[in-house]
Structure 1
Amino acid sequence: MKKIFLLSIFCMSFLASKAQIVSLNMAELTTLKGLVKKDRDAKKHWDVLLKEAEEALTATPNPADTILTEGILQGDARKTRTWKSLEDMQKVYALALVFKITGEQKYLSKTSEFLLAWAKRNKPQGNPINDTNLDRIIFAYDLVKNDLSTDVSLATSAWLLQVGLQEINSYQKAINRGSLTYMNNWNSHRIKEVAEVAWAINNDSLKNWAVLAYKTQIAQNLNADGSSYDFHERDALHYHVYDVDPLMVAATIMHRDKRFNAYEYKAAKGSSLKGSVDWLVPFFTGEKTHAEWVNSKAAFDKKRAANGEKGYIAGTLFKPEEAKTSIALANYWDKGLLAIYQQNAKTKSKYPTWQFVLNEIKK
C-alpha cells in the first residue's frame, strides 16, 4: 500500500506544469522588468543579480552529495565544504531570474547545468535544517520549469520530489520516536520546504500535507501571546525568528494559490503567524530587549558558546538586525512594516532589499 501511495505521488508530479506560485508568473515578470528600468533602488538590486549571473556563467556547479550544517560547529570541515557548495544557490537563482528578464539562452543553459548537477548528485536526507538552504534552487526551478528540456525537467522534479518525501518521512519518524522535531523549529522549516517543492512540481498530495501541517504548526508551536515554543525552549529571539521566517514563506505560497489567508489564520487557542510577527516587532524597533540563551535547554547552544561562535554567548543582547528578514517577509502582508524597516536600516528607500521588490511585484 505504501509503495502504491508513493507511486501515485510520483506520477502526479509530472502532470502539466501550473503557473508559477513559488517564484514569479509571466505577468509579474513583466512588471519586474519595467520596475528595474524605471526605479533607481530596484535597479540597484537588479544590477547585483545581473553581475552575479554574469559571473556564474563561467562557474562550475559544486553540488553537495549531502548537505551538512545542522548540529555541526563552525570550523568543522564538513560544514565548511557544505557552505562552499551552497554558494551555488545564489548563482542559479540569479541565472534563472536574468534569463526570464532578458530572454538570453546562455542564462537558461547555465541554469539547466546547475539544476541537473544538483539533481544528479544531492541525496536528500529529510533533515529540514539542512534542506532549508535549498530555497533559491527551488525558486529557480519553478521560474524556468516550462523552459527546461525534458531530461533536465524530469531529473529536477524527481529530485525535488525526494526532498519533499524525505521531509514527510522524517516528520513521521520524529512522531514515532517522540522527538520534538515534529513541532519545533525543525518542523517550521520542514513545512516551508514541502510547500516550496509541492507548488514547484505541482503535486497535490504534497500541497495538502503542507496546508494541514501548517495549520497544526500554528496551533502547536505558536502561542496566543505571540511567543513561540522555540523562544521559550532556547530562551532566544534568534529561534523565534527561525520559526516565523520559514512559516511566512509557506504562508505566502499558500496565499498566492488562493488557499487561505495563512498569515492571519488563527488556531483554536488564538495563536497566529501574524500575532507572532507582531510580538517580534518591539524587539526589532528596540522598544524591548532580550538577553539571549541565558536559560536555553539545548546542549548545542552551550557547545556553540564554548566554540566561541559570535552571538551565541549566554546573555548576549538580541540585535534588532537579526529580525530584518522577518520584517521584510512580513511586509508582503503588512505594508506598514516598510517604515519600521526603513527606520532600523536608516534608509528612505522604498526597496531597501530585494525582498521588498518581490513583495511589490507579488502584491
Structure 2
Amino acid sequence: MLTTLPHLPARWLLMLLLGLGWSPASPARDMGNWCSPQPGLAAAISLQQRAIRQLDIPPSPLAHIHTEGSLPHQGIFDQSVKAKRDWVHMRDFALAWQASADPRLLAALARSLDAWTASYQISFNPIDETDLDALIDSYAITAGSLPASTRQQTAAFLRTMASGYIQRIRQAKTPLSGTFINNWNSHRLKLITLSAVALQDEAMLKTAGELYLQHIANNISAQGETWDFQERDALHYVTYDLEPLVRAAIAARQAGEQWLERKGRQGGSLQQALDWLRPYAEGTLQHQEFVNSRVRFDYVRREAGLPGFSGSWQPATSHYLYALAARLSPAYRTPTLTGAAIPDWIAQCWP
C-alpha cells in the first residue's frame, strides 16, 4: 500500500512502482460515436418502418454458419443465408432505436444479441462470418444503453472473435500466401478493426492498424491492382476484396485515424485500389469476368449458372463499395459511382 511508504521521495516511489510492473495511466482515446445520424432523414424513416415490421420475428440463431465454397441448396447454405438475416435485423433495430428511442427496438436487439452470442460457435472462417459486421454495428451503436448482461456477453463474444482472428494471422506461415494475402484477409481485418473500435480497445486497434498495413503491402500493388484480380481475373473479387477494407477504414476514422491513403511497402494504398477500379465502375473500361481465373470453384459457379461469374462485369455491382468509400472521401460521392439510391443504413449512419 502506498500509505505505508509516506517518507519515500517521489522519484524513488516512482522507480519502485515501475519495478513492480506499474505504468502511468494515459487518457483513453475517445473513439467517437459509431454513427452520426441527422434527424428527419428519409433513411431514418425507412429504417424505422422496416425495424417495426421485424419486431415480431424471433431470432433464429445457429451454432454454425457455412456458405463459403458452397452453392445454393448444398449443405447448410440455405439455412445459413436465412439465419444471417438476423444480423441485419440487429443493425436495423439499433439504427431505428438511435433515431427514435423506442424501447421495443432496444429490447428486440438485446434478445437477438443474447440468443446469438450464447449459441453461435465462432468458426474463424472470415467468408462465412464477414456479415457479422452488422452485429458489431448494432452493439457499437447501443452498447451504453444495453442491459449490462447483454453488453458484457456481446463484448466477450467480440473480443474472442477478434483475438482469434489476430492469432490466426500471426501464426500463419511466412511469407504469407493464399488466404492470408487475398480477400479472406480483408474480411478478417474488417472484423478485427470493427471489434477494436466497438470495444474501445486501444491495443487491439493498434494491432489492427499494423495488420492492415501488412495486408495492403501484400494485396495492393503500387498501381492499385489487387492480388485478387491477378488470381481471379475478375472485378467481382476486386470489389469483394475492397469492401471490407473500406469498412475497416471507416471504423478506424472513428478513432481519428486515416487509413485511406496509408501505403504498404509496395507503394499501394486503398485509395489507389479504388482509383484503379474507378474507370471500370464508371463504364469507361470493360472487363470479361473470370476468363483466366486460377481458382477452380469460379468455373464450378459459372457452370452452375450463378450470375456474375461469366460475361462482362456490371458496374452497378460496385455501387455498394463506392457508397461506403464516399464516407471516406468526397471524390467518390458521385451518382455514377454510388448509384441513385444509397442504402438507408449507410445514409443514416454516415450522412
TM-score over 0.5 (shorter chain):
yes
State the number of aligned residues.
Answer: 325
**What is the identity percentage for the equivalent residue pairs of Structure 1 and Structure 2?**
28
Instruction: Quickly say closer, same or farther: Cα 1:121–1:176, change in 2 above 3 A.
Output: farther
Q: 1:192 to 1:62 in 2, by over 3 A?
A: same
Matched, 1:250 2:261: no
Range moving further from structure 2, 172-181 or 63-72: 172-181
Letter in 2 for 1:307: A
Q: Tell me the alpha carbon deviations over residues 188-241 of structure 1, each in whole angstroms, 9 at most, x when there is no partner.
A: 110010001111122233212210011111111001111100001000011111
Shift of 1:66: 1.4
Aligned to 2:323: 328
Q: 1:187 aligns with which of 185, 188, 194?
A: 185
Answer yes or no: is the 8 Å Cα contact 2:298–2:309 preserved in 1: yes
Is residue 174–residue 181 contact of structure 1 (8 Å, CA) maintained in 2?
A: no
User: What secondary structure is seen at the aligned counterpart in 2 of 1:72?
Assistant: coil
Per-residue CA deviations over 1:256-295 (Å, capped at 9, x if unaligned) read 2113x21011223320110100111100111000011011
Q: Which of 287, 291, 294 is the aligned partner of 1:290? A: 287
Q: Which residue is 1:300 aligned to? A: 297
Task: Calculate the TM-score normalised by the size of structure 1.
Answer: 0.84
Displacement of 1:307: 2.0
The answer to whether the Cα contact below 8 Å between 2:94 and 2:141 also exists between their aligned partners in 1 is: yes
Rate the CA distance shift 1:98–1:330 in 2: closer, same or farther, 3 A.
same
For residue 253 of structure 1, report the CA deviation from its aligned partner. Answer: 1.4
CA contact (8 A) 2:31 2:254 kept: no
Q: Secondary structure at the match of 1:336?
A: helix
Name 1:101's counterpart in structure 2: 99
CA distance 1:116–1:212, change in 2 (3 Å): same
1:146 counterpart SS class:
helix
Residue equivalent to 2:131: 133
CA distance in 2, matches of 1:115, 1:129: 21
Matched residue type, 1:359: W
Deviations 1:233-256 (A, max 9, x none): 000011111111111111111122
Q: Which has the higher helix share?
A: 1
What is the aligned partner in structure 2 of residue 4 from structure 1?
none
Structure 1 residues 292-328: Cα deviation after superposition (integer angstroms, max 9, x where no partner)? 1011001111221222212213xx1100011111111
Aligned letter for 2:284? E
Are the equivalent residues in 2 in contact too, given 1:99–1:107 (CA < 8 A)?
yes
Q: TM-score, normalised by structure 2?
A: 0.86
Matches within 5 A, 1:311-322: 311-313=308-310, 316-322=311-317
**Backbone CA RMSD of aligned residues:** 2.2
SS in 2 for 1:135: helix
**Does structure 1 conserve the Cα–Cα contact (< 8 Å) formed by 2:220 and 2:266?**
no
Residue 62 (structure 1) aligns with:
60
- Name the counterpart of 1:270: 267
| Structure 1 portions without partners, runs of 5+ | 1-15
Q: Structure 1: how far apart are the matches of 2:335 and 2:225?
A: 20
| Residues 188/22 of structure 1: CA separation in 2 closer, same or farther (3 Å cut) | farther
| Greater C-alpha radius of gyration | 2
Query: In the alignment, is residue 359 of structure 1 matched against residue 316 of structure 2?
Result: no
Distance 1:176 1:64 in 2: 34
Tell me the distance in 2 between the aligned counterparts of 1:22 and 1:126: 28
Indicate whether 1:156 and 2:147 are aligned: no
State the AA in 2 paired with 1:23. Answer: W
Contact 1:21–1:257 (CA under 8 A) maintained in structure 2: yes
Look up the equivalent residue of 2:332 and give its one-letter code.
L
Give the Cα–Cα distance (whole angstroms) in 2 for the partners of residues 274 and 48 of structure 1. 31
1:226 paired with 2:224, answer yes
2:213 to 211, 215, 232: 215
Change (3 A) 1:52 1:223: same
Tell me, yes or no, if the aligned pair for 2:44 and 2:348 is still in contact at 8 Å.
Answer: no
Quick check: 1:96–1:140 contact (8 Å CA) kept in 2?
Answer: yes
Structure 1 residues 216, 75: CA separation in 2 closer, same or farther (over 3 Å shift)?
same
The residue identity in structure 2 corresponding to 1:102 is S
**Partner secondary structure for residue 69 of structure 2:** coil
Q: For the residues of structure 1 that align with 2:190 and 2:77, how far apart are their CA atoms?
A: 22
User: SS in structure 2 opposite 1:175?
Assistant: coil
Post-superposition offset of 1:57: 1.2
